[in-house]
Amino acid sequence: MSKVGMIGLGEMGSAFVRRLFLAKREVVGYNRTKAKAEPLIKEGLHYAATPREVVEQCDIVLCMVTDDKAIAAVTEGPDGALAALRPGKIFVEMSTISPAHIRELAEKVAKTGAALLDAPVSGSQISVEQGKLLIMVGGDEAAFKQAEPILRDIGPKVELIGSVGQAKVMKIAINLQLAVQMLAMSEGLLLAEKSGIPRDRAYRMIADSAVGSPMIGYRGGFSLEMPTPALFSVNMQQKDMQLALELGRQVEVPLPTTAVANEMLTAARGLGYEDYDFAILFHTLAKLAGVDADPTKAYKSA
């Protein structure tokens, strides 16, 4: 295949494109805000004026946008991706949206004769850059085999786990744990800090202990210094928590820790932290604990 399409050139989409460049792929891309694509254009991206133009030029098109509304914006209408899909083309939807919505989109894609793969990811742009991204895929096995080499260019861990919608379920099941883990780590860290153990030392002990995890290893450190810009904002994380709570009600699975973590994200938004990485949960809890934790300043032990 001569060209790969990429609709959505935000932090993750841009990271995908750069991985495809490393694999010597030719990429045609579109973003609703063209200014965000300018650096990629300078690096060799062929920019398309509409999602439809991306699909017209490519047999396999990846899509990574923020939410259901953004999906509709790039797929519907005369300039949308659906207008150019036809037999032989594969639309790989990688955003985090509800299982119900991706199944509805799959039905629309099927009417064009094309195939849809449901392919959300686990990891951040750092994971993409380091070649450690996990890609979960739902959909037709034949379509998966066609798209798999491209997906492996982006992230080496790629697995077909079931039908369309099941990959989104898996993504939601993973993402709810990010905030839950971050909140639990924050509780332990603040317990240690208020008992006289320097925050940086306590964090190292937690990260190196039996409760350490890859997520705590790279995001827990944001309790010492917040990243700019956010890797995954409070608003984005809360969207995923609400998807989890909705799914939990549908399949009758209680999600008590998810509900508590979601409420703490609401508290973070109430403090004006919505644009920070969701690791701001530490600073939110610190305020309640009476600990001086200014997210605009790096922590320095006494």
Place of tokens 């949960």: 281
Q: Per-residue pLDDT averaged across 132-160, rounded?
A: 96
Would the pLDDT of 1 be above 60? no
8 Å CB contact between 99 and 165: yes
pTM: 0.91
The residue type of 44 is G
Co-location of 26 and 57 in the same domain: yes
Q: What is the mean pLDDT of the chain?
A: 96
Please report which helix (H) or strand (E) contains residue 182, including its range.
helix 166-194
Co-location of 193 and 139 in the same domain: no
Confidence of residue 221 (pLDDT cuts 50, 70, 90): very high
The pLDDT value recorded for residue 166 is: 97
Cα→Cα distances 107→22, 83, 104, 279, Å: 34, 14, 5, 37
Co-location of 235 and 106 in the same domain: no
Q: Per-residue pLDDT averaged across 162-177, rounded?
A: 97
| Spacing of C-alpha 15 from chain mean position | 12
Q: What does the DSSP 8-state code read for residue 280?
A: G
CATH (domain of 270): 1.10.1040.10
Among candidate residues 116, 136, 162, the one where a domain is terminated: 162
Among candidate residues 144, 162, 180, the one where a domain is terminated: 162
Q: What does the DSSP 8-state code read for residue 24?
A: T
Rounded to an integer, what distance in angstroms lies between the CA atom of residue 25 and that of residue 65? Answer: 21
Residue 298 lies in a domain: no
Co-location of 17 and 120 in the same domain: yes
Residue 226, both tokens: 């917040």
Residue 297 lies in a domain: no
The boundaries of the domain holding residue 210 are: 169-289
Co-location of 32 and 157 in the same domain: yes
Among candidate residues 162, 194, 229, the one where a domain is terminated: 162
Co-location of 250 and 273 in the same domain: yes
Confidence of residue 297 (pLDDT cuts 50, 70, 90): very high
Co-location of 112 and 207 in the same domain: no
Count: domains in the chain: 2
Region for 88 from its dihedrals, namely left if φ exceeds 0, alpha if ψ lies in -120 to 50, beta otherwise: left
The pLDDT value recorded for residue 48 is: 97
